[in-house]
Structure 1
C-alpha cells in the first residue's frame, strides 16, 4: 500500500492532501497509517524527513469530532521550532475541516496571550512543548481530560532535554482510553520503558534507511582549529550553495563564526537558544526567503528546522553523538532531493 486513495480517510482530509500534493505515501506513512486509522497505539522508529508528521497528522485529524470544542488531540515536540513546523503542516492538512482551532503552545513567548486564547475558546488540537503545556494544564486553562490522541514526536530528543517528568504528567492528564503514538529516531532503553508504561499493546514499525534514506553526499575535511573559520568560508565560496546551515557546538562559536562569515561577504545570521523567540523567528524567516544565505546555529535548530531545499549543512565541529550528527545533516536532502 503506497497510495493515499487506498486508505479509509475522511473526505474532509482530501483537500489537505491535494493542497500538499500528496498522492503516494512514504514508507513510514505506508507502514504506520493503517494501524493508526484502526485506533491502535504505535511505536515508530523513523529518521528525520521521512514524512512522519503527515502520518500522525492524518490519524489525529481523522479522529476529531468537529462539533466538540474541547482539546481532542495533543502533539508534544521537543523544541519551539519543531512545534511551529508541525503546527503549520497540520493546518494545511486540515484545510477541509471547517472551524478547526489549532493552537501552538510553546515557551519563549508570552504566557498571557496563550492563557487568554485558551480561556476564550478551547482548541481542538494543541501542538506544544512539554514545559509550556504542563504549565498551562497546571493553571487549569488547558483541559486535557478528553484528549483522544496523544503524539510524542521525537521522543528521544524530549528525554535527552530532560522532559520525561512533564511528558509523564501530561500523559496522565489525558483520557485513559486515548490513542498514543510515539515517534523516535532511536529506541534507547529509556524510550522502551516510556513506551511500556504509556502505550497499550502498540504496533511497532521501523523505517531506517533503505528507500527512505536521504541522498546526502558527505565530505570530511581535516583542518587545524586555528584555520577552521577561514576553511568554512573557503568551502562555501568554492561550492557556493544557495543556502547553508553551519552547526556549532557552543553559543560562543555560533556568534564568532557568523561574524567571521559576514567579514568574508556572506549574509550570515546566528541562531541559538539564548535569543528571544521573535528574533529567532525573524532569522528563520530571512533564511526561508533567501535574504540570508548562511545560518550559523547551535543544536537548538538541528530539529524542527525545515527550510525549502536547503543545499548544504556544515559541521563546524562534530557533535558529541551520532544521533545529533544524523539530525544535523538531515536538514538537507529532504523530500527526495539531494543534499
Structure 2
C-alpha cells in the first residue's frame, strides 16, 4: 500500500483531526512504509535516519492500538539517551492530545528515582525510557510490564554500542512473549540482525534510503597532518569569514572522548566558542552543554557519535568530521544533521594518509567526495564569539516554573527587553535561559535579587 495521505488509513476521526492540527498532512517515507503493517499488528525492523519522522510513525500506531480505559503499561519505548527519550515522550504527548486520559511517562537516569516511582503508582499507559533506568524500576518492582502489548527499540544500534545489551535482555524478558516488537535503527550491524532474530516474530523489513538528503549537502574532504589547526582554518574559511556576528552553528565529530576534550582546549585557547559532549559528562553538565549549543551561547559542539545520537538540533549549518567515521553509514548519519528541510548544508571531512582507506570505504558506499581547496586550510581570521550567554537557574517544572514566569522576572522594571531574551528551556529541576551577552550580568542580578512566583532562586552564568 502506497500511503500518500494520513486519511487513507483507518484512523479515528479524533486522531486525523489532531494530525491535521499538528501540520501532519503528507506522510514522510518512513511513515508511509511503516504505518500500514504496524497498524495491522506486524513486527517491524526499520532502517531509517534520524529526522525522518519515525517517532510519529510508531507513535500514531501505538496510540491507535491503545486502550485508554486501562491504566496498565501497554507500550514501552526504549531509547539510548535521556535527551532522545524526553523528545520522544514530548512528541507522543502532542500526538495523544486527541485521546482523553492517556498518561505518558519519561523514565530516565540522571534524576532521582523516587519521584518516578511515585508517578508509576498512578499508572501510565505508555512509558518511554532508557534501558538502565527501566531495568532498575523493574527490579524494584515499581514498573510492571505483564500487560504490555507493544515494545519499541528506538536507535537500537546505539543502545548496543553504549553497552546496554544486558539491561535490554532483562527488560525484554519481563515483557509478554506475544507482543508487537518494533525495532528502529539507523544502521544494521550484525548485532542488530542477531537482536531481531532473538526478539521478533517474522518481522516486516523496511529500509528508507538516506541518499535523498545528500543533494542539499556540499561535501569536501581534506588530507591533513595537524587536525586541530585544520579545524580552525576551516572554521575561518567557511563559517566565520563574512560576518562573525552571524557565525554558523557547527558540530565537530571525533571518534574518542580524549580527542573531543583536546580539541575543545585548542579551539577555546584560540578564542573560539566551543564545548565538548561525550559519555564522561554527568547529566547536569550534559544538559548545560546542550542548552548552550541550542540557544547559541556556544557555537561549536565537539562530540562523539554515541553522545550526539538522539539530539534534537535544528538549523545546523555545518558538520566537520575530524576523524572519518568507522562505519560508512555513521558518516551518513553525521552529515545528515545538516541540510535538512530543504536547507543547504556543509560537510567537511578530515583524514590523514593512514586514514585514507576509511574515506575510500565511505566513498564506495555513498559516492565520491570532492577534494577541498588548499586555501581553506591556510585561512586565518578573527574567531566568532557567541551572541548569547546562558543563565542557569536552580528551578524547573518541579517548582512550577514556566518560560513566561522567567521572562516576567527578567523584564520586571525594564531591566531587559523581551527581544534581549533568547531560547528558554525549562527542565525538571533547572532552567536555562539565553540572554544577549551584553545583558548577561544584569540578567543574573535580576534573578538573584528578585523573586519568581514569590520565591528566590539561585542562578549563575555559564561560560
Q: TM-score, normalised by structure 1?
A: 0.91
Shift of 1:213: 5.7
Q: Secondary structure at the match of 2:255?
A: coil
| Gap runs ≥5 in structure 2 | 240-246, 346-463
- Following the alignment from structure 1 to structure 2, what is the Cα–Cα distance between the partners of residues 134 and 41? 23
Shift of 1:212: 6.0
* Matched pairs, number: 336
Shift of 1:234: 2.1
- Following the alignment from structure 2 to structure 1, what is the Cα–Cα distance between the partners of residues 323 and 112? 34
- Following the alignment from structure 1 to structure 2, what is the Cα–Cα distance between the partners of residues 168 and 214? 40
> Retained in 1: the 8 A contact 2:50–2:310?
no
Alignment match, 2:291: 285
Structure showing greater Rg: 2
Q: Which has the higher strand share?
A: 2
- Following the alignment from structure 1 to structure 2, what is the Cα–Cα distance between the partners of residues 271 and 310? 16
- Following the alignment from structure 1 to structure 2, what is the Cα–Cα distance between the partners of residues 295 and 45? 27
Alignment match, 2:107: 105
More moved, 172-181 vs 12-21: 12-21
Alignment match, 2:54: 52
Any residues of structure 2 matched to 1:33-182 within 5 Å, and which? 33-119=35-121, 121-182=122-183
Alignment match, 1:260: 266
Q: Secondary structure at the match of 2:68?
A: coil
Shift of 1:56: 0.7
Q: Against the structure 1 CA distance between its residues 9 and 327, is the aligned structure 2 distance closer, same or farther, given a 3 Å change threshold?
A: same
Any residues of structure 2 matched to 1:200-239 within 5 Å, and which? 200-209=201-210, 211=212, 215-225=216-226, 228-239=227-238
Q: Against the structure 1 CA distance between its residues 233 and 196, is the aligned structure 2 distance closer, same or farther, given a 3 Å change threshold?
A: same
Q: Deviations over 1:62-111 (max 9, x none)?
A: 11222211211111112223222222222222232333321222223322
Alignment match, 1:194: 195
Q: Secondary structure at the match of 2:97?
A: coil
Alignment match, 2:300: 294
Shift of 1:144: 0.9
Shift of 1:214: 6.8
Q: Secondary structure at the match of 1:115?
A: helix
Q: Secondary structure at the match of 1:221?
A: strand
More moved, 140-149 vs 154-163: 154-163
| Gap runs ≥5 in structure 1 | none
Q: Secondary structure at the match of 1:50?
A: coil
Q: Against the structure 1 CA distance between its residues 292 and 229, is the aligned structure 2 distance closer, same or farther, given a 3 Å change threshold?
A: same
Whether 1:330 aligns to 2:298 is no
Q: 1:251 aligns with which of 257, 269, 272?
A: 257
- Following the alignment from structure 2 to structure 1, what is the Cα–Cα distance between the partners of residues 224 and 203? 47
- Following the alignment from structure 1 to structure 2, what is the Cα–Cα distance between the partners of residues 202 and 189? 16
Q: Deviations over 1:159-212 (max 9, x none)?
A: 233323322322222233221111122333332232223222222211123546
Q: Secondary structure at the match of 2:110?
A: coil
Alignment match, 2:10: 8
Q: Against the structure 1 CA distance between its residues 328 and 210, is the aligned structure 2 distance closer, same or farther, given a 3 Å change threshold?
A: closer
Alignment match, 2:424: none
Q: Which has the higher contact order (CA 8 A, sep 6+)?
A: 1
Q: Against the structure 1 CA distance between its residues 332 and 200, is the aligned structure 2 distance closer, same or farther, given a 3 Å change threshold?
A: same
Q: TM-score, normalised by structure 2?
A: 0.68
